[in-house]
Structure 1
Amino acid sequence: MQDDEFRPRLGRIGSRGSKAGKRYAGQLRAAINRAGGKATRGGRFTGSRMGRGGAAAAVLRSRDRHAAFRQRRVVVKARLVKLVGKGIDGARAHLRYLQRDGVTRQGEPGELYGADSDRVDGKAFIDRAAGDRHQFRFIVAPEDGIEYSDLKRLTRRLMAQMQEDLGTRLDWVAVDHFNTGHPHTHIIVRGKDDRGENLVIARDYISSGLRERAAELVSLDLGPRTDREIEQRLRREMEQERLTSVDRQLLRMRDSEGLVAPDGRDAFRQTLHQGRLRKLERMGLAAEVGSGRWRLDDELEATLRRLAERGDVIKTMHRELTSKGLARSAADVLVHDAGQNTEPVVGRVVARGLADEINDRHYLIVDGIDGKSHYIDIGKGEATEPMPDGCIVRVMPRNTEPRQIDRAIADIAAANGGHYNIDIHLRQDPSVTERFAETHVRRLEAIRRVTGGVERQPDGTWIIGPDHLERVAHYEGQRARAEPVVLDKLSSMPLEKQVGFDGATWLDRELVSNEPAPLRDSGFGREVREAQTRRQQWLVAQGVAHEEQGRIVYRADMISILRQRELNRIAGQLSSELGLSYFDVKPGDRLEGKMLRSVELASGKYAVIEKSREFTLVPWRPVLDRHVGKEISGIMGGEGISWTIGRQRSGPSVS
């Protein structure tokens, strides 16, 4: 063909005006079909194959179903975690928690490893990820993981295959856990590829491709599942109170009327289905409607998932209680469902752990003074400070209703054209102080950072909409999902040590309280009763209480005397350690200095404040955590200090 004989036919590929375009489109759809994808015309774009690994996931889905049925099963959980803002601090805390004590077969701390080393520096890994947009977290749990003496080799082969599927080297670390009935591996992958670009992995590969790769490797190691192994597993599923593969089969077998009949084509499967349906009937989740047909409960899947979670929780509680030598009956073990535990729980911490390791949700087991042991979801790990085993806590459900401060803001804004600031507040209510009005501004700032539900103008004025209280309820609902409870540490000192301790303890505060917590004469409640009796004897011997007409009478200033004893003792120790002299702060005094650190006393947590060549101890406030080493100032009140960061009066307040 001569060059000048070429006649281009304009039009987009696949249009009627281009036969070559039609041929190309047909070839493209055929190639997609061969790769296991779906070639659709005008279908809705989902983005499931965008990113690396989409083609590999499609190929894995298209393999022989019979061979896949015999493959070993592997559970893979995945999560993408953003590292912007405080995300890197959360990643650092998550890595520390994965290396906690008791996760190996020998009960030792977990050890990070990588592609080429059995011991990896976690700090160096996090430092490399400091500028990353995100990271990936995976949990890989082979069903037959107990057959492996070491999961490292399997993990390295899996990550090598993942690198091949994604077409890039990966920066990753892993740690193996053997502290549950199912050995599993935590893998953390940086969100950067080998060119330093953001690593984007196709949703299909995350949801199914990686699991299929892991199953292939385990099947190569242990061989495919035999008929006998498959039948034994299915027989065990008949009586399980959790969602099983048999339940999924029954759900798929429902006809147009929502009814299901046991499969009669195979004697084993018919027996399996019939046995499972009878079990579901006893659980109230299925009913026989005649002629061998059954109706499944509409909430079957959700109910079975909840039962499985509850069963796992009960096992966890019994394991933790037994390890601490605590015997509790099944009736005295309570599991708090999120949002349904309306009463506060007071007791000692038995254990804290990860309820959901991939989403970093923690649980607390509290042996309550009500004689019962409680399993409580406390939400995100970084939201709650560490609580040592044996400390005394009070756990209360988070209130999601708007507070009085929110109603005040809404009322003031409504009377001022939807605007709020400190000057407007002081004009509206001259009886309030500027410091009090500042607490309202901090509340608005907290809501703005989380939800963007309020707007702040450059001059510091806030735009408050008529639906402000609804926006506040939304903000509190978001907080409750991440932090479903409010956790107060009443004492860091175990109960037994409080009996003869020379200082103000939780036992003392309960003894003199006008509304002491009710104690049940069983479990931890009985232990507290006995400890209180012994503490009373100690207080009488110390001269801060006496017996009168068969009852114990306490000095009005007993708590102050005991608190001051401990303060003097700790101040003497710190004076020797710091080389500084101690001075006391009285109510009304103004204090300026540098906050050195915090110390834990039986009566609570205190801040160590250095001023010139002296130091003092003042009650701690949680907001001071991020201000260690800074200059602060404040005025001592009756129960604490309203702080200001920096020496100047106009500095930001953190009271």
Structure 2
Amino acid sequence: MSGDIDFTPRLGRIRDRGASGGKSFRRQVRQAAARLQNPAGKPGFTGRNIGRGNGATPQAMQSLRQISRARMRRVIVKVHIARARGGSGVRAFSEHVRYIQRDGVERDGSGGELYGPEGQQVDGRDFAERSGDDRHQFRLTVSAEDASQLGDLKASTRKLMTQMEQDLGTRLDWVAVDHHNTGHSHTHIVIRGKDARGEDLVIAKNYLTQGIRGRAQQIVTNELGPRRDLEIAAANQRETTQDRFTSIDRDLERKADTNRVEITPAHQTGDRFRRSLELQRLQHLERLHLAVEDGPGMWRLIKGWQNALKAMGRRGDIVRTLAAGLEPGETARGVRFFEERPRDAKAVTGVVISSGPDDELRSTRFLLVEDLDGTRWHVPANGVEPGSIPPRGAIVEISSAQAAPRASDKVIARVASQTGGYYSDALHAEADPTASYNYREAHKRRLEALRRAGLVTRRSDGVWNISDDYLSKASEFEARKGGGIKITVRSWMTLEAQIEARADTWLDRPEGAASVKSERLSNAHDARRAFLRRERLISDGEDRLSENTRNRRRMMELNRAAAKEGARSGRNHIELTKGDGFEGKFEKAVDLASGRMALIGNQKAFALVPWRPDLERHRGRTLLIEQRAKGLSWSFPSGRARGLSR
């Protein structure tokens, strides 16, 4: 035949497909139209092809030796690009390498073995030192479905990294650790953000999201051979009853037309098996109240069913992680999830039982907290700075973050209202001549944090644009921070240690005595009062220490801690009074019954000052501290001052 358009006829049996054929055709047309649409305001350029590895991605996604995609071994690859934002980011690089080597990740419960391209064990400290000036770091988690059949994961990991070097056209500086603590072995890989020439390593987005997974699947398929029919069938059958988002769900999602799925009769053997899987899966979703059968072969999926399944999968992962971190004989059953409570529910006070990884790629953590009535809570600790995680036994108060602006936000809004919607250091000084340099700097740091969240903008001349709804944006930012959960450490000392502590403890404070009503806390108070009476610090008619006695015991505890450090290091203890300054490194945090202190020291002397979470970003760095009337000011010797003194 002649014509301008070539086409290939699709041969088949001529038949009337009935009403379902028309529905199927209409659904295909709508789905094709949806794929062609470009959402309003969304740019066509995404940058996904910029960087090394873009050209290798199509080859990485190919099947091996004409093997169908269905027979390729399945591998999950998660990628996170960790960026260094000042000292805290660089320190987080080395902390992540230490963290993935933590105890309990090997089969025998020991720490993970760090390895690299060569055969011998590598030193994580050397890798961290080389990463000191890196702008970013690539973190990968590689999890093969059939990892148990691979035996030693090191060989396959080295093959993957060698292939990545070929695809990216550069040598990579990397380390890896195998984890066997979750019931499914996987590998953590950390890649420096520099190439072989010392320049920033930029990897194309499509290679990160698709190419690495494709290469990993090729390597595992080469090692174990293609998946057999029996293996594929068994894997698919397992998915029908899993409480997570599965590949069957992905197929149902593609077939769905406005959340309605039609399961048509099948005639071929393979189609009949697939139809059986889909029906079994839909029946399981119905038991989960996520699907409803509307008639023969017609199912309606409940709105949000995909997100519900993904949340269930995350919950299952959390329970398995909890079980892996508990003491022998303890169980993760009955653990409640704090983020599922109503936002207006009252705060929970309890004891930290353990902490663990919430997202190992991002180094975010969770706390397992047992409240004073014995209920255990899983608490995301995403907003807690590294080094600020409360230890086992600490007393914490967990509450929903309140959607309220900070005091600094109100000051910024007040200045902006007087200047036509602008804020700068000069405008602040003009509006409030009594505001000190340190005080104004604290407000600029607040605006920097909001700028990184995309809530405010700064002009090239350093002037900030403050919108009329600034306070509401700042309130929402506070509520979202840390996953909407606020964690307050009430005592860094265990409840048991407080009973006979010769110091001012949480049990001695009015808020500690009246905040929570529970049998456990009541018994602790009784034991504490009995100890204080034996020490002749309170009489039979008294319930707690006087304010003067508490102040005196705080100073005694601080002096004991200073004497202990002086004896250990041979340095002098410097007591700061108003106007005094001291320069030294932030060496460590010291936990006392009265609170946590920061140890700032140099070769000859040291000072113990009140600890704040934001100090953790600068652990190991030299600081210049000064005691002022309204608090402690700290700065870098050659930089700007910090603090909230006014």
| TM tier relative to shorter chain | 0.7 to 0.9
How far 1:429 moved relative to its partner? 7.1
Q: Is the 8 A contact 1:262 1:274 kept in 2?
A: no
| Distance in 1 (alpha carbons) for counterparts of 2:243 and 2:196 | 46
Assess if the C-alpha contact under 8 Å between 2:504 and 2:554 holds in 1: yes
Pick the aligned partner of 1:606 from 597, 602, 608: 597
Residues of 1 paired with 2:286 and 2:597: CA distance?
59
Equivalent residue runs for 1:232-311 within 5 Å: 232-254=234-256, 258-261=260-263, 264-265=266-267, 266=269, 267-311=272-316
1:501 matched to 2:501? The reply is: yes
Whether the 8 Å CA contact 2:493–2:591 is kept in 1: the answer is no
Instruction: Give the Å deviation of 1:451.
Output: 0.3
Tell which structure's C-alpha radius of gyration is larger: 1
The answer to whether 1:146 aligns with 2:153 is: no
The equivalent residue for 2:24 is: none
2:156 and 2:602 mapped to 1: Cα distance? 58
Aligned to 1:83: 84
Alignment of 1:411-426 (within 5 A): 411-418=414-421
Q: 1:66 to 1:343 in 2, by over 3 A?
A: farther
**CA distance 1:619–1:216, shift in 2 (3 Å):** closer
Tell me by how many angstroms 1:325 deviates: 5.2
Change (3 A) 1:66 1:604: same
1:184 corresponds in structure 2 to 186
Q: 1:136 to 1:106 in 2, by over 3 A?
A: same
The 1-side partners of 2:503 and 2:477 are apart by 41
Q: Deviations over 1:476-506 (max 9, x none)?
A: 46xx356644433322222222222222222
Deviates more, 1:378-387 or 1:95-104: 378-387
The structure showing larger relative contact order (alpha-carbon pairs under 8 Å, at least 6 residues apart) is 2
1:588-614 CA deviation, whole Å, 9 max, x = no partner? x54333456553222112355789998
Aligned pairs for 1:8-19 within 5 A: none
Which stretch has the larger CA shift, 167-176 or 552-561? 552-561
Q: Provide the residue aligned with 1:434 in structure 2.
A: 435
Structure 1 residues 605, 192: closer, same or farther in 2, change over 3 A? closer
**TM-score, normalized by length of structure 1?**
0.79
Change in CA separation of 1:611 and 1:546 when aligned onto 2, cut-off 3 Å: farther
The equivalent residue for 1:591 is 580
Give the letter aligned to residue 567 of structure 1: L
Distance 1:144 1:320, change over 3 A: same
Deviation string, structure 1 residues 338-364 (Cα, Å, up to 9, x no partner) = 995864332222222221122332212
Aligned residue pair count = 592
1:215 corresponds to = 217
- Residue type matched to 2:445 in 1? E
Instruction: Report whether the alignment pairs 1:560 with 2:558.
Output: no
Counterpart pick for 1:109 among 108, 111, 114: 111
CA separation in 2, counterparts of 1:568 and 1:46? 59
Matches within 5 A, 1:237-386: 237-254=239-256, 258-261=260-263, 264-265=266-267, 266=269, 267-321=272-326, 323=327, 326=330, 330=334, 333-337=336-340, 340=343, 343-379=346-382, 382=385, 385-386=388-389
Gaps of 5+ in 2: 1-35, 37-42
Q: Distance in 2 between matches of 1:191 and 1:219?
A: 29
Query: Cα RMSD over matched residues?
Result: 3.8
Cα gap change, 1:372 to 1:157, in 2 (>3 Å): same
Which segment drifts farther, 296-305 or 564-573?
564-573
Q: What residue number does 1:445 align with? A: 445
Q: In the alignment, which residue of structure 2 is the partner of 1:642?
A: 632
- Among 191, 203, 206, which residue is 2:208 paired with? 206
The structural deviation recorded for 1:152 is 0.5
1:542 matched to 2:540? The reply is no
Cα 1:47–1:467 shift into 2, 3 Å: closer
Q: Distance in 1 between matches of 2:117 and 2:109?
A: 24
Unaligned 5+ runs, structure 1: 1-39
Summarize deviations over 1:149-194 as a string: whole Å, max 9, x none.
Answer: 3210110111122222333322221111111111111112233333
Output the amino acid matched with 1:69: A
Structure 1 residues 595 and 140, CA, compared in 2 at 3 Å: closer, same or farther? Answer: same
Q: Name the residue aligned to 1:31.
A: none
Question: Which position in structure 2 is the counterpart of 1:17?
Answer: none
Letter in 1 for 2:230: R
- Shift in alpha-carbon separation, 1:334–1:371, aligned structure 2, 3 A: farther
- Whichever residue aligns with residue 533 of structure 1, its letter is D
Distance across 2 between alignment mates of 1:392 and 1:107: 28
Quickly say closer, same or farther: Cα 1:176–1:263, change in 2 above 3 A.
farther
Match of 2:489 in 1: 489
Q: Any conservation in 1 of the 2:441–2:641 contact (CA below 8 Å)? A: no
Greater alpha carbon shift after TM alignment, 600-609 vs 74-83: 600-609
Equivalence for 2:21: none
Identity over the aligned pairs, expressed in percent?
35
CA distance in 1, matches of 2:605, 2:85: 40
C-alpha contact 1:336 1:374 (8 A) present in aligned 2: no
Call closer, same or farther: CA 1:608–1:402 in 2, change over 3 Å.
closer
Residue of structure 2 in register with 1:393 after alignment: 396
C-alpha contact 1:238 1:272 (8 A) present in aligned 2: yes
Instruction: Sort the Cα spacing of 1:159 and 1:573 in 2 relative to 1 into closer, same or farther, 3 A.
Output: closer
Contact 2:103 2:109 survives alignment (8 Å): yes
Q: Distance in 2 between matches of 1:465 and 1:135?
A: 35
Change (3 A) 1:462 1:447: closer
How big is the shift at 1:633? 2.5
